[in-house]
């Protein structure tokens, strides 16, 4: 039996669902051949005292570098045999294989693989998510939010106080106290917030109602288990402009106020549809992951977490993390990485199991839709996705959309809270 056939017959041992092991006996003849080649190559590049560059005898090279070069030869031979053994075995190897020297001439190669999804469970039950009705009140609220961009500030004077209806710029000094330790965890001076603008939490806004300049405020955030205490330094009431044909010119080319209102309504409906879809997909993702737990290779999770940390460190907020903070952050990012990697595997398996595949039509429809929504030509849109990486990312996004649409239409059931 020749060596290639012998290698293909070697048994790959399961250490865990994501870790495998191969036991090998080193081919001494092949290793000696590779070692001699490395000696010759090293001799040509050598610069050893007492010999002209590249002219040192092989015996001298072996004396100086033999141990290192032999180790390199062993790794090269075993790596080539490892690749031969796993070829055609439907294994997705990840991370760096580890080489263990058991005894003279006998080695173990331990390596990680991506797991195979078995018995995919698509019995997905999610909470029913309600869509918000886009009523005239909602439309008017959104218009007032837009008009705030044009608002003029007017100082709020005694005895007038903040009410629940008008909109305000408020400048505060505050500290945040941890509810468990009683220690200060955050503070700021001259911090500006907008009140009654649908920007910050309504319960936090309520702590300012009835207050005037110079008053203190306190808010107990039960969700975060902290208390925010502060002092109101300035209050400016926002005086919104009248909604008319002149005002709406600030937001685009509209024939009249009614056309502007219809534009706002369309955008609100699009936003609500996206919010609903995103929330539903999030629920489906969590349930899909919960139903199909499996072990993942640590090297992949670790690499993903490190990449996420490096991305975060590009932001000013995270660029000066201490070693301890980085370690804590990595632990948190590993949890997120595990969830995302598992979701990717499960969605991919769903696509295979249910024969959901992308076609050229899917790409063409995306280009047409995007061109229409962005008021661009189709060729311009295609240009944005011409690069290979952009095309691959688009393909993944369209594939995910198609799989989620299938799950929503065919696999999920709703549970009442």
Considering the domain architecture, whether residues 42 and 177 belong to the same structural domain is answered as no
Phi, psi for 186 (deg, rounded to 5): -165, 150
Task: Please give the pLDDT value at position 1.
Answer: 40
Tell me, yes or no, whether 126 lies in a domain.
no
Q: Using alpha carbons only, what angle is made at residue 219 by residues 221 and 144, rounded to the nearest 5 degrees?
A: 95
Q: How far is CA 402 from CA 73, 157, 396, in A?
A: 49, 57, 10
Tell me, yes or no, whether 120 lies in a domain.
no
Task: Please give the pLDDT value at position 5.
Answer: 52
Considering the domain architecture, whether residues 403 and 264 belong to the same structural domain is answered as yes
Residues with Cβ within 8 Å of 32's Cβ and at least 6 positions away in sequence, in order, are none
Pairing of strands 93-103, 19-25: unpaired
Cα separation of 311 and 316, whole Å? Answer: 11
We report the CATH number of the domain holding residue 305 as: 1.10.3120.10
Considering the domain architecture, whether residues 272 and 390 belong to the same structural domain is answered as yes
Task: Please give the pLDDT value at position 4.
Answer: 55
Residue 175 is part of which domain span?
A: 152-239
Residues with Cβ within 8 Å of 44's Cβ and at least 6 positions away in sequence, in order, are 54
Considering the domain architecture, whether residues 230 and 294 belong to the same structural domain is answered as no
Q: Which contiguous run of DSSP H or E holds residue 175?
A: strand 168-178
Task: Please give the pLDDT value at position 276.
Answer: 96
Tell me, yes or no, whether 89 lies in a domain.
yes
Considering the domain architecture, whether residues 160 and 71 belong to the same structural domain is answered as no
Cα separation of 109 and 85, whole Å? Answer: 11
Tell me, yes or no, whether 392 lies in a domain.
yes
Question: Among 347, 342, 340, which Cα is nearest to 403's?
Answer: 347
Considering the domain architecture, whether residues 233 and 262 belong to the same structural domain is answered as no
Considering the domain architecture, whether residues 224 and 267 belong to the same structural domain is answered as no
Tell me, yes or no, whether 234 lies in a domain.
yes
Tell me, yes or no, whether 76 lies in a domain.
yes
Considering the domain architecture, whether residues 270 and 398 belong to the same structural domain is answered as yes
Considering the domain architecture, whether residues 57 and 192 belong to the same structural domain is answered as no
Considering the domain architecture, whether residues 195 and 329 belong to the same structural domain is answered as no
**Domain stop point among 176, 207, 239:** 239
Task: Please give the pLDDT value at position 3.
Answer: 56
We report the CATH number of the domain holding residue 15 as: 3.30.70.1050
Q: How far is CA 296 from CA 32, 94, 117, 226, 373, in A?
A: 38, 11, 11, 36, 40
Considering the domain architecture, whether residues 293 and 231 belong to the same structural domain is answered as no
In tens digits, the chain (417 residues) has pLDDT values of: 455 557 777 889 999 999 999 999 999 999 999 999 999 998 888 888 888 888 888 988 888 889 999 999 999 999 999 999 998 888 999 999 999 998 888 999 999 999 999 999 999 999 999 999 999 999 999 999 999 999 999 999 889 999 999 999 999 999 999 999 999 999 999 999 999 988 899 999 999 999 999 999 999 999 999 999 999 999 999 999 999 999 999 999 999 999 999 999 999 999 999 999 999 999 999 999 999 999 999 999 999 999 999 999 998 888 888 889 899 999 999 999 999 999 999 999 999 999 999 999 999 999 999 999 889 999 999 999 999 999 999 999 999 999 999 999 999 999 976
Considering the domain architecture, whether residues 235 and 285 belong to the same structural domain is answered as no
Q: Cis bond leading into 159, ω under 30°?
A: yes
pTM (two decimals): 0.79
Phi, psi for 110 (deg, rounded to 5): -110, 130
Tell me, yes or no, whether 361 lies in a domain.
yes
Q: What is the mean pLDDT of the chain?
A: 93
Question: How many domains, in total, are found in the chain?
Answer: 3
Tell me, yes or no, whether 131 lies in a domain.
no
**Domain stop point among 239, 270, 302:** 239
**Domain stop point among 51, 83, 113:** 113
């Amino acid at each position: 039996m020749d060596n290639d056939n012998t290698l293909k017959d070697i048994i790959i041992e399961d250490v865990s669902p994501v870790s495998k092991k191969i036991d090998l006996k080193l081919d001494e003849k092949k290793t000696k051949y590779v070692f001699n080649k490395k000696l010759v190559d090293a001799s040509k590049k050598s610069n050893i005292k007492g010999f002209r560059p590249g002219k040192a005898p092989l015996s001298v090279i072996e004396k100086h570098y033999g141990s290192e070069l032999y180790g390199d030869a062993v790794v090269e031979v075993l790596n080539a045999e490892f690749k031969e053994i796993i070829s055609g075995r439907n294994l997705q190897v990840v991370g760096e294989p580890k080489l263990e020297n058991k005894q003279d001439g006998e080695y173990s190669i331990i390596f990680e693989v991506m797991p195979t999804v078995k018995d995919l469970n698509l019995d997905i039950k999610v909470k029913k998510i309600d869509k918000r009705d886009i009523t005239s009140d909602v439309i008017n609220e959104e218009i007032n939010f837009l008009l705030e961009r044009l608002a003029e500030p007017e100082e709020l004077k005694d005895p007038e106080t903040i009410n629940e209806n008008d909109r305000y710029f408020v400048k505060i000094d505050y500290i945040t106290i941890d509810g468990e330790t009683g220690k200060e965890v955050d503070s700021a001076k001259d911090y500006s917030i907008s009140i009654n603008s649908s920007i910050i939490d309504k319960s936090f806004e309520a702590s300012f109602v009835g207050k005037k300049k110079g008053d203190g405020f306190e808010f107990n955030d039960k969700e975060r288990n902290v208390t925010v205490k502060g002092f109101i330094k300035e209050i400016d009431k926002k005086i919104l402009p009248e909604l008319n044909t002149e005002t709406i010119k600030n937001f685009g080319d509209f024939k009249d106020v009614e056309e502007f209102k219809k534009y706002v309504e369309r955008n609100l409906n699009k936003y609500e549809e996206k919010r609903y879809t995103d929330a539903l997909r999030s629920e489906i993702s969590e349930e899909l992951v919960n139903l199909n737990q499996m072990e993942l290779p640590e090297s992949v999770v670790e690499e993903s977490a490190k990449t996420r940390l490096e991305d975060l460190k590009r932001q000013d907020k995270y660029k000066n993390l201490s070693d301890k903070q980085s370690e804590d952050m990595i632990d948190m990012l590993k949890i997120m990485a595990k969830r995302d990697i598992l979701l990717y595997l499960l969605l991919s398996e769903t696509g295979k199991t249910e024969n959901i595949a992308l076609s050229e039509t899917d790409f063409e429809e995306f280009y047409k839709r995007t061109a229409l929504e962005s008021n661009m030509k189709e060729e311009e849109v295609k240009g944005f996705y011409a690069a290979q990486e952009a095309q691959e990312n688009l393909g993944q996004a369209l594939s995910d959309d198609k799989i989620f649409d299938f799950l929503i239409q065919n696999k999920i059931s709703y549970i009442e809270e």
